[in-house]
Structure 1
Amino acid sequence: MRASTDRTLAFLRAARVSSRQERRKNSAYVVYLVALFAVFWAVPLLAAAARAGGRGDWHGETARQLTATLPWSAPLLTALVLLLTMRNAAWRGPVRVDLPTLHWLLPLPLARGPLLLPRLRAAVLRSALVGPVVGAVLGYVLYVAGAGAPVPLAVAGAWAGLVAGLTGVGAGVLVERWGYGRPFWVGSLAVAVAAAVLPLWSGPWGWAAQPLVAAAGHGGPWAVGAGLSAVCAAGALVVAWRSAPLIPAAELRSRATLASQVTASLFALDLRQTRAAVRGPRRGWAARQRVRLPMPRRRWLLVPWRDATGLLREPGRLVWGALWAAAAVWLCGLAPDAGRGQVAVTVLTLGAGYLAAAQLVEPARLESDDFRRATGLPYTFGALALWHAVVPGVLLLLGLAAGAILYGTSGHLALLGAVPALVGGALVSAYRGAMPVEVLIGGETPMGNTGPLQAVLWYGRGVAGALALAAPCLLVTVRQGGFGVGELGWLLLAGLVMLGWGRSTARRLRGGRRRSVLGAARDRLLPLLG
Structure 2
Amino acid sequence: MSASDVAEAEEESGWSEQDDDRTAETLRWLKAKRKAHRRQRGRDLAVLLYCLVLGGAGYGSGLVLHFLRGLDEGAGYGRYGAELQRGLPALFTGVALTLGLLAARDALWRGPVVLPGPSVGWLLAQPVRRAAVLRPWFRLSAGLSLIPGVIAGLAGAVMLRVTGLAPIGWALLAVIPAALCLPLLAVCLGMAVERRPGWARRVRRWTAPAVLLLGALAAQTGLAGSGHRVRALEWFELWSGPWGWAAQPVVQACGGAAPGWPAAVALLLAATGAAVFQAYRDAARVPTAQLRSRAATATTVASVMWSMELRAAKLALMEAGGGEATRSLRLPPPRNRCLVVVWRDALTLLRTPGRLGRAALWAASASAATGLGADLGGERRIVGLLLGLLCGYFAVGALAEPARLETDDLRRGSWSPFRFRTLMLQHGVVPAVLGAVLGLLAAAPFAVRGAPWALLLMPLCAPPFTAAALYGACRGPARTQLMFLGGGSAFGGPGPLIFLAWYAAGPLISLTVLGLAIGRGGAPLSVAVTSVALTAGLLFLVAQAADKLIGRTPPARSR
Q: Into which bin does the TM-score normalised by the smaller protein fall?
A: 0.7 to 0.9
Q: Give how far 1:292 is off.
A: 2.8
Q: Say if 1:140 and 1:418 are closer, same or farther in 2 by CA, change over 3 A.
A: farther
Q: CA deviation at 1:49?
A: 1.5
Q: Counterpart in 1 of 2:131?
A: 113
How is 1:22-171 mapped onto 2 (pairs within 5 angstroms)? 22-27=40-45, 42=60, 45-46=63-64, 48-53=66-71, 55=73, 57=75, 59=77, 69-138=87-156, 140-141=158-159, 156=174, 159-171=177-189
- Counterpart secondary structure, 2:324: helix
Q: What is the DSSP-based 3-state SS (H/G/I as helix, E as strand, rest coil) of the residue aligned with 2:186?
A: helix
Q: What is the one-letter code of the residue matched to 2:549?
A: L
CA distance in structure 1 between the partners assigned to 2:528 and 2:157 by the alignment:
41
- For residues 76 and 425 of structure 2, the distance between their equivalents in structure 1, rounded to whole angstroms, comes to 44
Post-superposition Cα deviations, 1:61-113, rounded to whole Å, max 9, x if no partner, equal: 99987776554344323322322222222222210111221221122343321
Matches of 1:207 and 1:400, distance apart in 2: 39
Give yes or no for the alignment of 1:291 onto 2:291. Answer: no
CA distance in 2, matches of 1:217, 1:494: 53
Match of 2:515 among 468, 471, 489: 471
Match of 1:177 in 2: 195
Q: Which residue number corresponds to residue 496 of structure 2?
A: 452
Q: How many residues align?
A: 507
Query: Following the alignment from structure 1 to structure 2, what is the Cα–Cα distance between the partners of residues 53 and 362?
Result: 47
Alignment correspondent of 1:404: 443
CA spacing shift, 1:253–1:269, aligned 2, 3 Å: same
After superposition, residues 98-497 of structure 1 pair within 5 angstroms as 98-138=116-156, 140-141=158-159, 156=174, 159-179=177-197, 180-186=200-206, 188-190=208-210, 192-193=212-213, 196=216, 200-201=237-238, 203-212=241-250, 219-220=257-258, 223=262, 226-282=265-321, 284-286=322-324, 289-298=326-335, 299=337, 301-311=339-349, 314-336=352-374, 337-408=376-447, 410=451, 412-413=454-455, 414-436=457-479, 439-444=482-487, 450-477=494-521, 484-497=524-537
* Mean Cα deviation higher: 61-70 or 172-181: 61-70
Structure 1 residue 124, shift from structure 2 partner: 0.2
> 1:127/1:450 Cα in 2 relative to 1: closer, same or farther (>3 Å)?
closer
Task: Tell me the TM-score normalized by structure 2.
Answer: 0.77
Q: SS state of the match for residue 286, structure 1?
A: coil
Write the distance in 2 (CA, Å) between the matches of 1:185 and 1:90. Answer: 12
* Alpha carbons of structure 1 residues 162 and 384: separation in structure 2 relative to 1, 3 Å: farther
The worse-fitting range, judged by mean Cα deviation, of 70-79 and 186-195 is: 186-195
* CA distance in 1: counterparts of 2:241 and 2:430, whole angstroms: 35
Greater mean alpha carbon deviation, residues 263-272 or residues 205-214: 205-214
Percent identity for Structure 1 against Structure 2: 32
> Cα gap change, 1:49/1:317 in structure 2, threshold over 3 Å: closer, same or farther?
farther
Assess, with a 3 A threshold, how the Cα gap between structure 1 residues 487 and 143 changes in structure 2: closer, same or farther. farther
Q: Quick one: structure 1 residues 397 and 102, their matched pair in 2 at CA, closer, same or farther if it must change by over 3 Å?
A: same
- 1:350 touches 1:467 (CA, 8 Å); kept in 2? yes
Q: CA deviation at 1:498?
A: 3.4
Structure 1 runs of 4+ off > 6 angstroms? 60-67, 445-448
In structure 1, what is the equivalent of residue 549 of structure 2? 509
**How far is 1:458 from its partner?**
0.9
AA partner of residue 305 (structure 2): L
1:116 deviates by: 0.5
Name the SS for the 1:488 alignment partner: helix
Q: Deviation of residue 178 (structure 1)?
A: 3.0
Gaps in structure 2 of 5+ consecutive residues: 1-15, 218-232, 554-559
Q: Distance in 1 between matches of 2:132 and 2:497?
A: 47
Letter in 2 for 1:183: V
Superposed CA deviations along residues 36-78 of structure 1, whole A, max 9, x for unmatched, are 5666665664353144256464759999877765543443233
Q: 1:204 touches 1:229 (CA, 8 Å); kept in 2?
A: yes
Q: Is the 8 A contact 1:431 1:502 kept in 2?
A: yes
**8 Å CA contact retained: 1:361, 1:389:** yes
For residues 489 and 148 of structure 2, the distance between their equivalents in structure 1, rounded to whole angstroms, comes to 41
Q: CA deviation at 1:154?
A: 5.7
Q: Which moved more, 1:227-236 or 1:102-111?
A: 227-236
Which stretch shows the higher mean deviation, 347-356 or 490-499?
490-499
Secondary structure in structure 1 of the residue aligned to 2:22: helix
SS at the partner of 1:375? Answer: helix
d(CA) in 1 for partners of 2:168, 2:543: 52
Q: Secondary structure at the match of 1:106?
A: helix
What is the CA distance between 1:219 and its match in structure 2?
A: 4.4
TM-superposed CA distance for 1:418, in Å, is: 1.5
Deviations 1:135-169 (A, max 9, x none): 43255456556766555556655644443322221
List per-residue Cα deviations over 1:479-505 (Å, max 9, x = no partner): x8xx63333333344344334433443
The amino acid of 1:419's aligned partner reads: A
Contact 1:423 1:499 in 2 (8 A): no
Secondary structure of 1:252's counterpart equals helix
**Alpha carbons 1:424, 1:502 under 8 Å: kept:** yes
Distance 1:191 1:367, change over 3 A: closer
**Distance of 1:412 and 1:65 partners within structure 2:** 29
* Contact 2:487/2:494 (<8 A) preserved: yes
Measured after TM superposition, the shift of residue 306 of structure 1 is 3.1
| TM-aligned CA distance change 1:269 to 1:70, over 3 Å | same
Instruction: Give the TM-score of the pair, scaled to structure 1.
Output: 0.81
Q: Could you say which residue in structure 1 is the equivalent of 2:227?
A: none
Are the structure 2 counterparts of residues 271 and 20 from structure 1 closer, same or farther at C-alpha, using a change threshold of 3 Å?
same
CA contact (8 A) 1:71 1:218 kept: no
